Structure 1
Amino acid sequence: MKSIVIKNARIVNEGRISEGDLRVADGRIAQVGGEISVQANDRVIDAGGKHLLPGMIDDQVHFREPGLTHKADMATESRAAAAGGITSYMEMPNTNPQTITVEALEAKYQLAAGRCMANHAFYMGTTNDNIDEIRKLKPDQTCGIKIFMGASTGNMLVDNPETLAMVFRDAPMLIATHCEDSPMIEQNEAIYREKYGEDVPIEYHPLIRSEEACYKSSSMAVAMAKEHGTRLHVLHMTTARELELFEPGPVLDKRITTEACVHHLYFDESDYARKGTLIKCNPAVKKASDKAGLRKALAEDRIDVIATDHAPHLLEEKDNSYFKAPAGLPLVQHALQMALELYHDGVLTLEQVVNKCSHAPAQLFGIKERGFLREGYWADLVLVDLDKPITIERQDILYKCGWSPLEGDTLGSTIDTTIVNGEIVYDQGVISNVIAGRRLEFTGR
């Protein structure tokens, strides 16, 4: 592993931007800031004034392995993530088999070993009858416990009140929730089925997976967390109304937090006309006023984290009528650039984008020695060109599913270089063959 010196960078870290250099040695950040002298064996990257950020940490992805690898797998999707400046990811438990035992959790880590271009951790899932497995967990085994408190499939929909209470009471670490109320959604589906049959227009998706269905579930989760003193992280916030449930302030001061996903910050209901079922996701892309509310909440630190909920399906699966088209979008390859649109639009400062994409996830989950440009930390870095727009084209997509909901759209930034654990994995459009990802470690916050 050669040492790397990045020269002439605008370093964005811990609330400030400074001009200087950074040295990487033995996979870690050896020196940050100032002018760093180059030694004989150093590889030199001249940033030329581009911005150097800590790599994005994505706290919510579906990489489909095991069991659904015709859509995606850990190798293909972590490769796409690295090309997009995501250096660490946390993957969800609704695979086949489901990750609902400690044994299945460890089996996933074994599947990932030696195959992932990005660092990785896996959630433990909950069911109505696996509370004993949840109680066995140790903080270094998983990033968190995932509860589908609402719409899901199979036995991962936890709808038994006694089970929910036990999980919230006994969880040995953070609980992450998907919050939508299934009975309310089913009632809405019946109303629109009666009117349209199976061909419900896609623009009614946010009315079927409604604001009310989200609020009913998320308010229940927050109430239970307060009752039991649970660390709760509500995933993929989509409505302005729900934001009243969360307090502004630094993430380390909170036990109840939430995230927004890049597609809910980028799309709104007007985009169904041009994107159709390509942007069908759960919870749904909603009103422009909801998108504006989410953006405002990020700026005031009411929303803590930006993530993706990357969930790929084959294009032929998405090209279906409303009820047959699966929910989910592939996003990791361009997620950081989508987050940087908030900077270009004047919604967040560049320092705030870095906080939401890197610092806050590391603090929230207690990730060891990542998420910041600090000496001694692992060298997970991304160099971005904020002055080089890019138009997304299918020929450049790296996902196994082979498409992106952003095709034809232009984003204002380009990912120049991504470094994972001191290894250059992506460099000016060229993806390497270096498998640099490691299992994430946690401090047990």
Structure 2
Amino acid sequence: MIIQGTLVSSSGTFKSQIRVDGNFIVDVGTNLGQADITFSDDCLIFAGMGDIHIHARDDVSESQTYKEDFCTAGAAAINGGVVHVADMPNNPVPPITDESYLEKARHLEKRNPPIHFTLYAGIGPGTRPLTFAVPYKAYMGPSVGDLFFKTLEQLDETLSHYRGCNVSFHCEDPILLEEHADAATHEAKRPTECEISATRFALQMIEKYDLKGKLCHYSVGEGLPLIREARSRGVKVTCEVTPHHLYFDQSDLTDENRGKMQMNPPLRTISDRQAMLAALREGTLDYLATDHAPHTLEENEQGISGQPHLDTFGAFVTWLILDQKFTPEQAALFCSENPGDFVNPYISPKKFGKIEPGYTASLTVLNLKQPVTIKREDLKTKCGWSPFEGITFPGSVEAVFIEGRQVR
């Protein structure tokens, strides 16, 4: 199969063709032959976009699959132009040992979702590294079950066993969270100093134990200089940012929408949101990662934190490009190439992130001239709602290819 159109990478945008054989790209060039599929000049073809921070709610217990499972998360991902995801480990049965991780992997294989899932392993009090290479997630503050630390000293002791590993951090200081637990609002219970304190500590741990570190769902402008300074000294740290911390801020909160607008970390100030946009533009933030956290609307009204974002990923990217004036090349970096670089060490022979021979033939095609209004009836996530309902994005997902097959 030959696909033709405007291809985008971090190094440029150009008209070309892609030859696909089976699951892989075998050639890219301008004279490969008669195209089987041609996309118009309104469209941009990206290496398949990846979301490296989602919560599919699926594990061997199946106790939370009423709000999402691997298959419905996969369908929502395709709806949003996402071809691979990385699923977090804060499950009722957390994957923290070889046995529990492989049990979750077998459960995933049995589900047979329509896209590729990379699984994080959890780090909790007293855990130890698995005997094979995986990405890890450490929760500094309370999460599902017992997979979190009550003190930073406890986290330090545990991380001493993970030297050299790939560890992602949820940066909220557990001691400061406890000190603010009785505050009047969710935002006041999880103030900026919780994230800033945890950022300092995470950067110390990444440097101390030579970790390949990642800071999840970053939201505080005041913490960005800490990250830049650490990088200048060679600390190996990358950072995520979510759609909600780029699009919404505390000025959007009302008494009516507080339940749906609650997440951890919470919405920040207008200046914090603007700082996240600027940091994504100049490269301090490396990944657009949704923290897709599906709950029922009833659960959100009861104060459970999290928003679903897989269905709207691609449409949101068109908002970044057309309304916020990000270049397509920038979007290719934080939506395709960097997520591919993150998962590729764990998924051979698959290889995501670039439109080059040898890479998996998974592609995301965005139409920059076809706006879309987000409607509940068009969503694929099992939880059945989106914080973007009623919002019109300036472009939309035109097509999705998964391992050589067009699925949308």
Work out the CA distance in 2 between the residues paired with 1:207 and 1:249: 28
- 1:400 Cα deviation (Å)? 0.6
Matching residue of 1:159: 150
Matching residue of 1:219: 200
Matching residue of 1:289: 271
Q: Superposition pairs for residues 228-247 of structure 1, below 5 Å?
A: 228-247=209-228
Per-residue displacement from partner, 1:37-94 (whole Å, max 9, x unpaired)?
A: 13xxx8x222012110011111100000023101100001111101211111100111
Matching residue of 1:196: none
Q: Superposition pairs for residues 95-114 of structure 1, below 5 Å?
A: 95-113=91-109
Tell me the C-alpha RMSD between the 2 structures.
Answer: 2.1
SS in 2 for 1:225: helix
Gap change, CA 1:275 and 1:21, over 3 Å in 2: farther
Work out the CA distance in 1 between the residues paired with 2:382 and 2:284: 35
Q: Which moved more, 1:51-60 or 1:224-233?
A: 224-233
Matching residue of 2:6: 10
SS in 2 for 1:106: helix
Matching residue of 1:381: 363
Matching residue of 1:304: 286
Work out the CA distance in 1 between the residues paired with 2:342 and 2:250: 31
SS in 1 for 2:246: helix
Contact 2:203 2:230 in 1 (8 A): no
Matched, 1:65 2:58: yes
Matching residue of 1:53: 46
Per-residue displacement from partner, 1:269-321 (whole Å, max 9, x unpaired)?
A: 12222733112110111111101101111122111111110000012222x2x
Matching residue of 2:124: 127
Contact 1:248 1:302 in 2 (8 A): no
Per-residue displacement from partner, 1:313-354 (whole Å, max 9, x unpaired)?
A: 012222x2xxx3210011001113213322112442110011
TM-score (norm 1): 0.84
Matching residue of 2:241: 260
The number of aligned residues is 396
SS in 1 for 2:68: coil
SS in 1 for 2:67: coil
Q: Which runs of 4+ in 1 moved over 6 A?
A: 248-251
Out of 399, 402, 406, the residue aligned to residue 420 of structure 1 is: 402
SS in 2 for 1:309: coil
Contact 2:83 2:362 in 1 (8 A): yes
Contact 1:151 1:181 in 2 (8 A): no
Work out the CA distance in 2 between the residues paired with 1:137 and 1:285: 38
- 1:411 Cα deviation (Å)? 0.8
Q: Name the aligned partner's letter for residue 327 of structure 1.
A: S
Matched, 1:180 2:172: yes
Out of 321, 327, 339, the residue aligned to residue 349 of structure 1 is: 327
Contact 1:128 1:156 in 2 (8 A): yes
Work out the CA distance in 2 between the residues paired with 1:241 and 1:161: 21
Identical-pair percentage: 28
- 1:95 Cα deviation (Å)? 1.1
TM-score (norm 2): 0.92
Matching residue of 1:197: none
Work out the CA distance in 2 between the residues paired with 1:161 and 1:177: 12
Work out the CA distance in 2 between the residues paired with 1:418 and 1:283: 31
Structure 2: stretches of 5+ with no match in the other structure? none
Q: Name the aligned partner's letter for residue 138 of structure 1.
A: F
